[in-house]
Every structure is written in C-alpha cells, then in structure tokens.
Structure 1
Amino acid sequence: MIGKQVKKAVSKQLKLIKLVFNYAKYFTLKQPKQKLIVVCFDGLFPHGGLVDRLKGIVSFYQVAQELGYDFKVLFDNPFDLTMVLEPNQVDWQINRDQLKWHPTKSKFLYLVNNFNTNPLQIIKQSKAQTFYVYANIDYAKTMFPNLSTLQLESKWRTSFNTLFKKSNLLETKLNQIELAPYIAFHSRFTSLMGDFVDTTTKVLSEEEKTMLLKQLLNCIEKVKAENNLPAYVFSDSVNFIDYIKQHSIIKTVKGNPFHMDNFEGNSNIEGHLKTLIDFFMISKSQKVYFLNIKPMYNSSFSKYAAIIGNTKFIRLES
C-alpha cells in the first residue's frame, strides 16, 4: 500500500516537472486580463479516446460557465480538432503562440482518470487566474448533484452543441452515407480479437474468438428482427466487422477503426475522421445497442453518441 502511494506521488511529481518544462517557454510576468480555463490535448499525456476528450472539454466548459471564466481548447495532437469539429457559439480555439504562463497567476490541473475530485470547487477556491487543464472525465454528476440523469444528459448535450459544429469535411462525409432510419450496434474489444493496439493486452484463443463472434451475431440478428429496420455495426475490431459483413446483411461504414490516443504514432486524419463518422452515425440512429458480452470491455462511446442524438440507449449484456 505504501509502495503504491509512493509510486503515485512520484508519478505526480514527474508530470509536474514535465508541465513546468513545457510551459517555461510561455513565461510572462504580465498580469492576465481575464480569468481563463484552457483544456489541453497537446501530446504531453495520454487522454484516452474521443469521448474521454469530449468529457474533459464539456466538464470544464460547464465549470467556466458557472464561474464566469473565458474558455479555450488547445487540441492539436494527434491532429487539429477543427478539421472535424469547429467552434459553434463559443470561440474556444486557441493556438500555442497565444499561451501565457505566469508563475503565480497560472496553475496546472492534471486530472486524467481522476474520478475523486470536484473541479468546480478546485477552481472556485483557487487564487489563480489561468488554468491549464488535462482531463478526461465527465464531472457533471459531481458538480450538479441535484440534477437527475435526464437533466444531466440534457445539460451535456446542450453544452456540446453550444461548443461544436461539424466541419465541412465531416458533414460532407456523413452526407455521403444513407440517411434512411436505422438502428446501431456498438462493441468494444480492445485487444481481445488480436487486431487492435490498446492499453489492454489480453487476446482470446481462436476457439474463444469464434464462440464470441457467433454469440454476437446471433444477438444482433435477433434484435434486428425485432426492430425490422436496417442496422449498422460499429466497433474497434476490424476482425469483428469483417465477420459481420461476411455472415449477415448488417451494414458497416467504410474505413478502419482507430484509437485517438495515438498508440502507434499515427496522426492520419482519415483514421480519426472514421471515429467521428462512427460517433455521429450512432447519434443519428433510432436506437443504440451496446454489445457487452463477457469478456468484452465497457465503453462510453456509444452512450455519449446517444446523448448527443437524444436517442434510446440499450445495453445488451451476458
């Protein structure tokens, strides 16, 4: 236990040192003109996938709204976010040459995977004027405990739509796909199928893969028959998508799944664009079914897509 605490403390100090070295080039003694929160995705630290990043952005936009702070997003790694999502009603875009680091008026907040905190209270109680934030959690339930689940989802959807609109590139790609009513299936395998690099390492045996694929196909076909609508399947596994294409008439969207946290140093915009296309395709479906049959992994990707689209989300578990 003590060893774990020491390791955590050392990790925290190393991250702080990394931040100080990175922001030293933005040093200034000029007083900030206004209170500012900047949520950063600059390649210094892993954040997770698309939805994890959106959670961090929306959470701190809500903090900025509550406390009257100006709000910006620095998102230029592994690609420039504005290529797919542009500012809508809030001018959140900021470039690195606009950053300023004051030794007493600026503060770092590293909250990646930190579930046990309330950022609203942290910023409210701080004397700093500018906050550089690294975060990937939806803190709405913590910050607004009196709101119901439906109210929290509505607030999240409103915040997202206030911040973002689809770029012409993303809109064009989405418009090229059939828009007739459909249902959506989503699954997350990470490394289980042996075709995806992620933070997990477990790979199923060939026999286990075959059994799971057959079980998933049966589940999909049953639900599809009950709905009597065309269906799309979305997944992080190319092997799963190929299997579905070979054994059913379920539709898929062209392109290979790709993780936004850049595990292989790949900043190819086409791969990341596919992630956004999947996200908004799921959001526009009539119903969203998340397949979570053991030993598959949980994911909030399709859940937040359903929130954006205000569509019904159903979890299929075993």
Structure 2
Amino acid sequence: MSILKSIKKKAGKKAKQLKLLRFHAKQTSNKRFDKKRIIICFNGQIPHGGLVDRLKGIVSFYEVAKVLDYNFFIQFNNPFTLNTFLEPNTVQWKIKDEAVTYNSKTTKLVYVINDFNVNPLTLIKESKAETFLVYANIDYLSKMYPEVTGTVLENKWRTSFNELFKKSSLLESKLKSVEKDNYIAFHTRFTTLMGDFQDTTALVLAKDEKDALIFQLQKKIQTLLQGSDNKCYGFSDSIQFLKTIKEKENIHLVEGNPFHMDNFDTNASLEGHLKTILDFFMLSESETVYFLKLGNMYHSSFSKYAAIVGNKPFKTITD
C-alpha cells in the first residue's frame, strides 16, 4: 500500500469513528449495569457490509462475549429489522434503540471494520469499559483460536450461529414455498464484470469477453448437472448471467434481483432484502454448494458461510 493510500485509509477510519462518537454521544446516560455488555451495531450510520460480513462480525463478538461471560446484544435496524428474518434462539440478543446508551467514562467504541489484524478477545478483555459499542465485519475466530483450524473452526462458528439465530416463521414459509425436494447449488460473483450494476470494482468486460466467460461457466455447470440426479439452483450477483444460463441449461432460480445491503443509493423494499436472505439459506440447505470462479471473477464468502451454516460440502471450481 502506498503512503498516500495509507494516509487516506487512516483519515477515513478516523472520520467514521468521529461520526459514530457524535452519534452515540446523543444517547448519553449515567445508568450502570450489573454485567458488562457487548452491543454490535448495524444502524446505517456507516457502511456495514453485506449479509455475510455482518454475520461474521456478529458471531465473532458473540464468541468474545461467551468467553468473557459478558451480555451480548445486536442492534440491527438498518436496512431492515433483523428479527424479521432471524429471531433469537438460545440467546436473547434483541435490544431497544433507547437501551444502546453511551457514557464517556464507561463506554468504549470499537470500530474494526475491515481490520484483519486485531484480536477482539484481547481488545475487549484488556479494556476496563463496561459497555462496548462494536462495529465489525470480519470473522475473527481464527485470531481468537489460532490452534484450531478447518472443520473444527467451522463447527465452532456454526454452533455460535445456531445459538444466536433461528429462522422466523416468515423466512421458514418462504423457503418451503420455493423448494421441497433435494437440490445442488452453484454460486458466482461478478461484481461489475457483466455490467449489471455499480460496485466498489469498476471493470466491465467487453461483449466477446462476457460471452467467452459465460461459455466457460456453462461447461462447468454442465459437468455439475451430469454428476447429479438432483435439481440445480443457480445464485449470483449478476441477474444477467442467471437469465442467460437458465436459457441454456436446466437451472432453477429464486425469483427476485440480487441486492446489496449497503447500497445506500437505493431504497430496497423488504422483498429485495428477503431475496438475499433466501439465497443464503437456499444455499445452506442444498446437498452440495459449488462456488465457480473463472478468469476475472471475484472471490466471495457468501456461499462458503452458507455451507458452514448448513454443514454442507463446499467445493470451489476454478479454471
């Protein structure tokens, strides 16, 4: 990273921290608590990341709360209320906005968005604060448990996820209305490559490059179809790709358009966000999850974490 980029990154982080401090300072309270508490916040004040980024932050700091025996809460009211789709399971994490209070002497603002170097357990444990207002989007379990790898780490992540969440009746009914039979699933991530939408990336492929890439993907998908007797569902951030591949192969799709939770320029309806949640849990309930990444296509942890939640085989297919 160049010096200029490093300076800009630090300045951007400081600006977001100051914005959050000003926001929370409006909720000043001298109330004390019998037990220390960690509150992870998704309130629209800053970009928080997509669904999986948010889940990574939630599970990471819930794990910290478990280890330290702190109370754990999730403030998730933007761009929708989390318990519309995911309700508390064994942990009562719901908190009212007015209960997310700030005290300059006893509250610590923890801003670790895109900070891959910090160990949150050490950070929280060494602080004397009583309330931690957390903004995070990274899976820190490997930092917290460096001696644990692979399947064991995934099992730990899934256990924490299931302690926190159960599907709402709305989500359950929507999932059952889509598919009742067994199926396999593939996932692709293009960001701007197909020219569907604007993203943090800028590269858009020329038409002949798009056609060539789709042809290569079609060959991989044909192999998946030939190797399974089950239906096959396709998931992607490119609606153009999904429509094209469905015309060419016997692929099933979930209705709706992909939508990113941090797209502040668009006021998506609840149905738009439901599509993202449905995609995630459809992947988690498939027999096998395949992630296709060819050429200039981008990495994604969306389908990987869906497979972890569902305890399903996950396979990456490359060139």
Q: TM-score, normalised by structure 2?
A: 0.97
1:255 Cα offset (Å): 1.0
- Spell out, residue by residue over 1:56-105, the C-alpha distance to the aligned partner (whole angstroms, 9 max, x if none): 00000000000011000000111111111111111111121111111111
Separation (CA, whole Å) in 2 of partners of 1:37 and 1:71: 5
Partner of 1:245: 246
1:180 Cα offset (Å): 1.3
Correspondence list, 1:134-153, <5 A:
134-153=135-154
Separation (CA, whole Å) in 2 of partners of 1:304 and 1:248: 26
Separation (CA, whole Å) in 2 of partners of 1:69 and 1:91: 13
Please give the secondary structure, in 2, of the residue aligned with 1:61. helix
Stretch moving more, 159-168 or 189-198:
189-198
Partner of 2:235: 234
Partner of 2:10: 9
Correspondence list, 1:98-109, <5 A:
98-109=99-110
Correspondence list, 1:69-88, <5 A:
69-88=70-89
Note if contact 1:34-1:70 (Cα within 8 Å) is conserved in structure 2: yes
Partner of 2:43: 42
Whether 1:164 aligns to 2:165 is yes
Partner of 2:176: 175
Partner of 2:91: 90
Partner of 2:303: 302
Alignment: residue pair count: 318
Separation (CA, whole Å) in 1 of partners of 2:6 and 2:229: 54
Separation (CA, whole Å) in 1 of partners of 2:3 and 2:124: 30
Partner of 1:290: 291
Partner of 2:280: 279
1:228 Cα offset (Å): 2.9
Separation (CA, whole Å) in 2 of partners of 1:4 and 1:190: 23
Q: Which stretches of structure 1, 4 residues or longer, exceed 4 Å deviation after superposition?
A: none
Note if contact 2:39-2:100 (Cα within 8 Å) is conserved in structure 1: no
- Spell out, residue by residue over 1:225-250, the C-alpha distance to the aligned partner (whole angstroms, 9 max, x if none): 02232111001101011001111111
State the Cα RMSD in Å: 1.2
- Spell out, residue by residue over 1:159-193, the C-alpha distance to the aligned partner (whole angstroms, 9 max, x if none): 11110111111111001022211110000011111
Separation (CA, whole Å) in 2 of partners of 1:116 and 1:245: 42
Please give the secondary structure, in 2, of the residue aligned with 1:100. coil
Note if contact 1:111-1:134 (Cα within 8 Å) is conserved in structure 2: yes
Give the partner amino acid of 2:62: Y
Correspondence list, 1:264-275, <5 A:
264-275=265-276
Separation (CA, whole Å) in 2 of partners of 1:197 and 1:272: 18
5+ long unaligned stretches in structure 1: none
Separation (CA, whole Å) in 2 of partners of 1:74 and 1:148: 30
1:198 Cα offset (Å): 1.9
